[in-house]
Chains A and B, each alone.
Chain A
Amino acid sequence: MRRRPHYLAGAGSLVWLFLVGLPLYVMLAATLRTHADYAGNGPLAFPKSFTLDHYTGAFDSGFGRYFLNTIVVTVCVVGLVLLLVPPLAYAIVRSTSRITSQIFRLFLLGLAIPAQAVIVPMFYLISKAGLYDNLLGVILPTAAFCLPMSALILSGSMRDISRELFEAMAMDGATPRRMFFQLVLPLSRGGLATIVVFSALQAWNGFLFPLVLTQSDSTKVITLGLYNFQTSHSIDVPGLLGAVVLSMVPVLLVYLFARRALVRGLMGVGGK
């Protein structure tokens, strides 16, 4: 249309395709061939054998349990975010109180706090609360660190609701509570979907909080399972890569079926 494709940039993008595609191919190929084939012929050679042992093997070495733990953490984090953020965003967008604008400023500041920065006191707090090596001890801080971005996303999407709708409901004598449930929530579905995906990804991929706040096998999440597998069986590369592929399957499913929500959740942008 307005511009012809740029051939130099196109060539550059093909180089990048190779850099992205080759490792992904090697990973998939490694998980589907036997050990001897991988070690003997090297990762780049075309597979001469076929097996699904590495996937079943991952479950035998405890990944079933890790999956379950990660699902529990993810569901609880998403639940907490959905419970806390909509009323917060509603107040940010509609409240005229000066306290609310201060609260919004606090959450904007919170966007800049990296989890690494608070990991030492978090360990102290969680230990003192008796939640060390307990999934709840992972859920609470993970959910807290989802709040600033979720509040920003959802308040952005609530701002798009037209003022006239609120005024019309106010004319009918609706309370803030009724407006929230009958007007705000139904009209910010896009934003709600985005914060669900965003916080689910944070929980699913989280590593630092589980690493520092849990230790036993019964509370291990997938990312930690991958790390442990790598440090203890570093020779079993196909088995390890099988576990890596399994860990991305749920995210891949979301990518295939809810691509827009996933991209928005990853980018942390409002549901428009």
Chain B
Amino acid sequence: MTTQMTSPPAVAGPVRKARRAESSYVARVGRPGFAWALPATLFFAVFAIVPLIMVAVLSFMSWNGLGSPEFAGLDNWRRVLDDPVMIKSIWLTLLLTALGVAVQTPLSIVLGVWAAGPQRNRAVLSAIYFIPLLLSSTAVSVLWRALLDPNFGIPAQVTWLFGDGNLFGEQSTAIGVLAFVSTWQFTPFHTLIYQGAARAIPPVLYQAAEIDGAGRYRQFFHITLPQLRTSVITSMIIMIVGGLTTFETVLILTQGGPGTDTTISAYYMYQKAFKGFDFGAGAAIALVLVIAATVVSLIVVRVSGYDKMRSTMEGVS
């Protein structure tokens, strides 16, 4: 601000040149060196980057949790990829992730756009919607395990809706429970994303549409949804990565059962490594998860054109 104020256009040439030299000198001095970033970087390297590299290494080793890991070649990979439970767990993981995205995306868009609107009761309702976010995943799972208990829970009381009340006894209902609980837990988060984005849509777009005679639904599909594009992608990536790494919900609600019917990959990895003491196989499954999460995120970004996306605000002053 000050630099612009004190440079009258009449004084050209040397004075301005001197100013520029001076300001670039001023811009250069007093810069921190990279040493400022080193402590955090070293810490992060030791506790995140090194373990990430070690996952790859350990997937070629055999280790039972005691002693030292020994080189095992492709043995873990052969066993993991030949294991029908593992293959099934990949399909279950993808199914649960897809269910989560398919249910939560429309729900949170509708709730978020609604919550961004002008209603008077909106603030109170939004505050209540927010409460599941205050609970940890563990608390949410423990709560629902108790509420859905076959003998003392809600299903035992509302038999006309839930039949015998045991929702954990069959694969379809157990998957339904898992999908419902993660929807219950995470929809508020995604609703907040959409609420913020819907508030940022310039009102002038709606005014223009109204002048052109566009109705409410056309406004929603032709203005609101396209304007929320960036948020849809952000929210979907978070859902996918979250879905692929779901763990607490399965551990606490279904223990992977009945049988192995809800054993998703992250839970199977935990079982293999920390219950079966087959850490090599656990590392191989973990690596599959990392690669899957990265690939799916990249695909979403590429397919949606997120990486080349231009501002949706163009033409708006």
- A binding-site residues for B, Cβ under 8 Å: 1-3, 5-6, 9-10, 12-13, 16-17, 19-21, 23-24, 26-27, 30, 38-39, 42-45, 80, 83-85, 87-88, 90-92, 94-97, 99-100, 103, 106-107, 110, 112-125, 140-141, 143-145, 147-148, 151, 162-164, 166-167, 169-171, 174-176, 179-180, 204-205, 207-208, 212, 223-224, 226-227, 229-230, 234-235, 237, 240-241, 244, 247-248, 251-252, 255, 263, 266-267
Contacts and interface: CB of A to CB of B under 8 A. Distances in A.
B269 to A, nearest CB: 7
B92 interface: no
B52 A117 contact: yes
10 contacts: A12-B110, A38-B152, A84-B39, A110-B49, A125-B47, A125-B50, A223-B136, A223-B139, A234-B149, A247-B139
Contacts of B203: 2
B34 A117 contact: no
Contacts of A208: 247-248
A171 B19 CA distance: 13
Nearest to A254: B134
Nearest to A30: B146
A124 B3 CA distance: 57
Nearest to A93: B32
Given A13-B111, A237-B146, A251 B30 contact: no
A16 B153 CA distance: 20
Return the 6 tightest CB-CB contacts between A and B, nearest first: A144-B47, A205-B136, A121-B54, A118-B51, A91-B36, A88-B40
Contacts of A114: 241, 244-245, 289-290, 293
Interface in B266-309: 266, 269-270, 273-274, 279, 282-283, 286-287, 289-290, 293-294, 297
A251 B118 contact: no
Interface stretch (B9-17, B79-87, B95-103, B125-133): B125-133
Contacts of A17: 125, 128-129
Interface residues of B, number: 102
Nearest to B114: A9
Contacts of A223: 136, 138-139
B207 interface: yes
Interface string B108-124: 00110111011100000
Contacts of A115: 245
Interface of B: 1-3, 23, 26-37, 39-41, 43-44, 46-52, 54-55, 58, 63, 65, 69, 107, 110-111, 113-115, 117-119, 125, 128-139, 142-147, 149, 152-154, 156-158, 184, 187-189, 192-193, 196, 203, 206-207, 216, 241, 244-245, 247-248, 251-252, 266, 269-270, 273-274, 279, 282-283, 286-287, 289-290, 293-294, 297
B43 A84 contact: yes
A120 B55 contact: yes
Contact of B34 (A16, A27, A99, A125): A99
A45 B137 CA distance: 27
A90 B33 CA distance: 10
Q: Is the interface of B mostly helix, strand, loop or mixed?
A: helix
B162 to A, nearest CB: 12
B44 A110 contact: yes
Q: Is the interface of A mostly helix, strand, loop or mixed?
A: helix
Given A3-B206, A96-B31, 14 more contacts: A10-B119, A20-B132, A20-B184, A23-B144, A30-B146, A114-B245, A117-B55, A120-B58, A121-B51, A147-B43, A230-B145, A237-B149, A263-B130, A267-B189
A168 to B, nearest CB: 8
Contacts of B50: 121, 125
Contacts of A9: 110-111, 113-114, 117
Contacts of B34: 91, 95, 97, 99-100, 103
B134 A251 contact: yes
